Structure 1
Amino acid sequence: MTKRRVIAWGTGAIGMPGLRQLIEHPEYELVGLHAWSKDKVGRDAGEIAGVQKATGVIATDDVSQLLALRADCLVYQGNYADREAQCTADVVPFLEVGTNCVTPALMDLIAPRYGRREFVDPIEAACRKGGASIFCGGTDPGFMTIGHLFSLLSGAGQVECVNVAEVCDLSKYAGVDSMALYGFNMPLDFLPEMYTGDTGRAWHESTLWAIGEYLGVQLDEITSSWETAGLDYDFEAAFGTIKAGDTAAIRWTMTGMYKGRPLVIYRKIERVHRDAGPQFEQPLHNAEGGYQITITGSPSFHTEMAMNLYDGCAITALHPINAIGRICDAAPGIYGQLDLPIFYSKNVIR
């Protein structure tokens, strides 16, 4: 079996578990690593990832070196929060030289028809120029709202309502840019960028439009509400010190209406303390995170998935990584998950 030659970009909370899996994966050969942090540049990828072997791949911040590798695929795991233009500019040169890309970051590509054109159009043009393909996955939006959801819908009959909820305790998550988008540590009546701006519409409301489309209908409208909760004492989270009375939990409910009834309900329940927002949905088995999906109709059924924070970050990285073979074999263009044949891990522990 010929291994796919891959470059990894990003060594943060999402990138690190992805890097570890790439190093150990029987189908992929890591040939390049981009590191942003100066203390990682010049170090072996195995040392950075904390695995017990050297890889011979030395981290660099020189993009021209990575482009010259002409790898089969770039695994792009950069931070997309407030960096959409920069992330788009990062991947375009690789696509233009024919290097395919998988990523959990460029969320305007989750449902590209509903993504912001200023980020989708340059990527489409780069795919055409280089004859390359790109796929954006992750957890939510991504696997949970498309792959997992539609595997459940394969057993459904008449569908009255689809209800999807992400429930996470993010007290150990230190992604400052991402957390700020949700308004943590702000007054309870503060409405943050994720709710009021283009970011939330591109990342999450687009998911509802796409689910409606996949179900074969055009939603009439999406309504939205934002709820917050705090605690009556200060506490420390990885994000920073959260002040008493400020936002420590949020519940964002988006409802896709069809012919006067809710067809798709999509919730984000995020906390930075386990006790914040007890009235909001709670993860299964008191886990750090999880996903709840309810299909109402004939038949009706409910599923829940529980995980810790590290495993949730790993799934975010591995969902697109598992698509590398499919995306390398695909015709040029942007692919959603339902545009690809089924993909899954073949990395069996030996």
Structure 2
Amino acid sequence: MRRPLRVVQWTTGNVARKTVRAVLARRDLDLVGCYAWSADKVGRDVGELCRLDVETGILATDDVAALLALRPDCVLYTPLRFDVDEVSRILRAGVNVVTSAEFLTGRTLGEDARATIRAAAEAGAASIFGSGMNPGFAQLLGAVATGVCEEVRHVRAVESVDVSLFASDSNQDGLGWGRPMGDPGHADAVRAAVAVFEDGVEVLADTMGIELDDVGCHVGFAAAVHDLDLPGRPIAAGTVAGLDLRYVGIVDGVEVLELHQRWVMSRELEPPMPVEHGYRIEVDGSPRITLTLGIMPDQPLETLTVEDLHGIGMTITGMPVVHAIPGVVAARPGIVTYADLPVVASPLTSAPGRRPTGSA
């Protein structure tokens, strides 16, 4: 057996609570360091910071040079926002990066930033891989679903979710919940806030071996029928409480790929926007394929709390990048996607004696 891969966790927020737990549970990964950007977290055990009932012996630091001196094989980069200069420094030091921070291909960062990331990775002979549930893992499922088809004409990946439990999360700020219907500039603001879905279209195309001519985006809105008293984000009746977004990949003027997101803060909207609470892949081909991904908690439903449900969202965001670490470390230098990796899967069982406990 080869040695465990040395991993540094970068930041200790919501996603990190899940990724740290997963790294500690794997035999082939070894947590060796942790970065914390806020001064009050420096010097504290990562187990405490990530709400695990275990001391890891790993103390958080804001000393980037010290973390790079640990010679990690990979940094697990999970802040809310992607910092091009910070990530470039890590890659240039020869350290691979997996990230859930709004990066899949770098397309939507702009060509200059993308070139900077690629050059840093190549200089350090390191790889960078980004994913999450959607965009990310859902596009891998879309590509896999076409594997039994003789002919494929169109692939659609649909996410349809009531997001009211996540109303107060900062990643909802840019979507303009509660703005007046028809507010000038709202559609452009939404496109800017979720531009990483363009990367998702590119990932699906890359995995299927398709060269796109263009990527388009269409945004639709629905209004709340009643006032919504949501924690941290009240929404008045008649203002925006539903979003319908379609990112499409175009070849020869025809839409061939689609990422369709429908997010609502209420079931009572005008016009109606029904949701299914899950993910669906639709392949228009020969034969036609439908793949439905339902996500259910592994505990009795009557015991579920809002925090438990939020934790499920963080789990499906973080696990695709944790489980990709071995493949990313072995991959070619540069920006890599699912097209460059072996199948990304979770080990069957956790390592005995290493699985941390604690709240989600």
Q: TM-score range by the shorter chain?
A: 0.7 to 0.9
Structure 1 range deviating more: 12-21 or 255-264: 255-264
Residue aligning to 1:330: 331
State the Cα deviation string for residues 245-288 of structure 1 (Å, max 9, x = none). 221110012333445543223211112334446832412xxxxx
Q: Percent identity?
A: 29
Q: Distance in 2 between matches of 1:134 and 1:74?
A: 10
Give 3-state SS (helix, strand or coil) of 2:164's partner. Answer: coil
2:356 equivalent in structure 1: none
Over 3 Å counting, the alpha-carbon distance change for 1:115 and 1:211 in structure 2 is: farther
- C-alpha distance in 2 between matches for 1:221 and 1:133: 26
Give the C-alpha shift of residue 79 in structure 1.
0.9
Cα contact 2:95–2:126 (8 A) shared by 1:
yes
Q: Distance in 2 between matches of 1:215 and 1:311?
A: 29
CA distance in structure 2 between the partners assigned to 1:275 and 1:60 by the alignment: 47
1:282 aligns with 2:275: yes
The answer to whether 1:293 aligns with 2:281 is yes
Return the offset for 1:161.
1.9
Task: Identify if the C-alpha distance between structure 1 residues 261 and 194 changes in structure 2 by more than 3 Å, giving closer, same or farther.
Answer: same
Which of these residues, 244, 265, 275, is aligned with residue 251 of structure 1? 244
Q: Counterpart of 2:6? A: 5
Aligned to 2:303: none
> What CA distance in whole angstroms lies between the structure 2 residues aligned with 1:67 and 1:346?
28
Give the 3-state SS of the residue equivalent to 1:94 in structure 2.
helix
Query: Which residues of structure 1 form unaligned runs of 5+?
Result: 284-288
Question: Residue 235 of structure 1: CA displacement?
Answer: 2.4
**Does residue 250 of structure 2 align to residue 262 of structure 1?**
no
Task: Identify which of 134, 145, 152 aligns with 1:140.
Answer: 134
How much has 1:206 moved relative to structure 2? 3.8
Number of the residue aligned with 1:76: 77
Kindly provide the CA deviation profile for residues 133-185 of structure 1, in whole angstroms up to 9, marking residues without a partner as x: 1111111111101x211121111221122121112222222565421222212
Q: Which has the larger displacement, 229-238 or 297-306? A: 229-238
Pairing 1:227–2:227 present = no
Whether 2:93 is the aligned partner of 1:97: answer yes
**Structure 2: which 5+ runs fail to align?**
296-308, 353-360
Aligned to 1:117: 111
Find the aligned partners of 1:315 and 1:331 in 2 and give their Cα distance: 26
Partner of 1:248: helix, strand, or coil? strand
Q: 1:188 to 1:37 in 2, by over 3 A?
A: farther
Partner of 2:358: none
Q: Distance in 1 between matches of 2:347 and 2:242?
A: 37
The residue type equivalent to 1:135 in the other structure is F
Which residue of the partner structure matches residue 300 of structure 2?
none
Aligned-partner Cα distance in 2 for 1:277–1:303: 29
Aligned partner of 1:318 in structure 2 is 319
Q: Which has the higher contact order (CA 8 A, sep 6+)?
A: 2
8 Å contact kept, 1:162–1:263: yes
The within-5 A match list for 1:197-236 is 197=192, 200-201=194-195, 203-212=196-205, 214-236=207-229
1:223–1:47 CA distance, 2 compared to 1 (3 A): closer
Normalised to the residue count of structure 1, the TM-score between the two structures is 0.86
Corresponding residue number in structure 1 for 2:27: 26
Q: What residue number does 2:68 align with?
A: 67
Change (3 A) 1:139 1:183: same
